[in-house]
Amino acid sequence: MDATMRPLYIPPQMGLYAEKHRLFDMMQEMLKGLLIHKPEQPVDFLINQLKLDSYDVPKICILGPPASGKTTIAMWLCKQLGVPRISPENLLTSSWSALTDKVQEYQRRQQKIPDELWAELIEERLQIEDCLHGGWVMEGLPESRELARAMLSSGIIPKHVVVLYAPDVVLIERNLGKRVDVVTGEVYHTTFDWPADEDTRLLLEAPGDISETETSRRLMEYHHNYPGILQSFGKHMKLINADQPCADVFSQVLTHVQVLPPTLAPFSPRILLCGPPGSGKSLQAALLAQKYGIINVCCGRMLKEAVAVETKLGELIKPYFDSGWPVADNIVVKLLSERLNRLDCHLRGWVLHGFPRDEDQAKLMKRADIHPNRVFFLNLTAETILERLTYRMLDPVTGERYHTLFKPAASKEASDRLLMHPRDTEEAVKLNVEAYSRLSSSLESFFKDGIFINGDQDPQTVFEYIESYIISPLPNPQKSF
């Protein structure tokens, strides 16, 4: 960082490092912990937080009405992710807690356990090493808005809250057929999920609270408490229909919890537009720059400007222009690196088009620390490209561009003076398209996260597709915990 410049110049490499290692999220979590726990020794507290290295571990709540499949989904998730399952039942029957005596006292009196005591019990369980380092799946908690608020006040903040739902008629039918393995705790059903193993069937028992009256009462209680829970966890909640095969429900839940939550870290778009000649890269770049204020970096125009202003790199580029040979890749990458490392590109983001054209150029970009976070491939057929380019014309007087089919000149006088650029002849276009087709497959393989868009559409439609991927807070990649 150069302290002699005002405003301070922050090298782009710092931003790339922070983005790659999610430093902003880490600092946010640490600050959140300080504000919640208010430790007497903040530095020691932060050091301990860093030693835990638990920012990416799963912290999942599975909620839903009775018989929605919470237990089954939670148990399957725990097996898949290798994390402990926390439920009201195993919290109340545990012997590790210093609060066990208090809990048992309420149970003996047949009184409701206070939400504050539940929150303390949960907090104490989450401080055990398996939860601290590995994460957790919490089933059926919180059951009310008051408990949700108590959990949040204690710093128990899940990353994903999955809410299962189904019609009450379906839930009552499910509950009546529920059977539980007294050894493993696995849940089965007399109609939908009856075990094939005879020994397992002998261990099944009907829970004591599955009567229609009791189920209806619990459903009413759930519907009464749900709006309050929604107020507490609304931004984190994912609703999933439980009235479908259990394997399908689990697949949707697993997909959801493996995607990291959207980050609040500052984001500068670094967009790369690839595609054959005539695919509309220049137009889309101009539209993006106009709407979002990002820097439009056209590789060809950048080379011409360097020659025009006679920079040192421009002097190296000029002989290539005079001879008609392509500019050496290392010179292009050096010029590109200088432009993209300016402060405006770092703060506002950039959209690049015209480079790279092949895998070798893409590798040079990577070695120069040029890392786009959105790569779009605009695809067109060769026939469409020929139609777009071979009918393009230029008015040498006004500089206006026309197209014989889509945008003809307004007057005969203007039409008569239109000229075609040599690169738009049919022979030249075919050569360029053939060259792109030969090199594009390796380029697409290099950018594995590339987004493919049909470029043979209205330009505004193409822009809307590109825009939808830019404004969404991706790419937080899927994480296998």
pLDDT (tens digit per residue) in 303-327: 999 888 888 888 899 898 888 888 9
pLDDT of residue 53 exceeding 80 = no
- Residue 249: the pLDDT is 94
pLDDT (tens digit per residue) in 398-418: 878 888 877 888 888 888 888
CA dihedral angle for residue 461, residue 280, residue 431, residue 332, rounded to 10 degrees:
-140
Mean pLDDT of 123-151: 89
Distance CA 465, CA 439 (A): 25
Tokens of 215: 């189920």
Higher pLDDT, 394 or 62: 62
Mean pLDDT of 40-58: 79
- Residue 290: the pLDDT is 93
Considering only 61-75, 86-100, 154-168, 242-256, which range has the smallest mean pLDDT?
86-100
pLDDT of residue 474 exceeding 50 = no
- Residue 263: the pLDDT is 67
Alpha-carbon Rg for the chain, nearest whole angstrom, is 31
Mean pLDDT of 205-210: 72
Please tell me the total number of residues recorded for the chain in this structure. Answer: 481
Considering only 17-21, 85-89, 335-339, 476-480, which range has the smallest mean pLDDT?
476-480
Longest dimension (CA), the chain: 99
pLDDT class of 3 with cuts at 50, 70, 90: very low
pLDDT of residue 187 exceeding 50 = yes
Percent of the chain scoring above 70 in pLDDT: 91
Predicted TM-score (pTM) of the model is 0.63
Give residues with Cβ within 8 angstroms of 470, minimum separation 6.
269, 271, 288, 292, 374
Higher pLDDT, 481 or 130: 130
Tokens of 346: 């770092």
Enumerate domains of the chain plus CATH numbers.
57-257 (3.40.50.300), 270-390+425-471 (3.40.50.300)
Average pLDDT of the chain is 84
Higher pLDDT, 296 or 413: 296
- Residue 6: the pLDDT is 52
pLDDT class of 49 with cuts at 50, 70, 90: confident
pLDDT class of 343 with cuts at 50, 70, 90: confident
- Residue 402: the pLDDT is 81
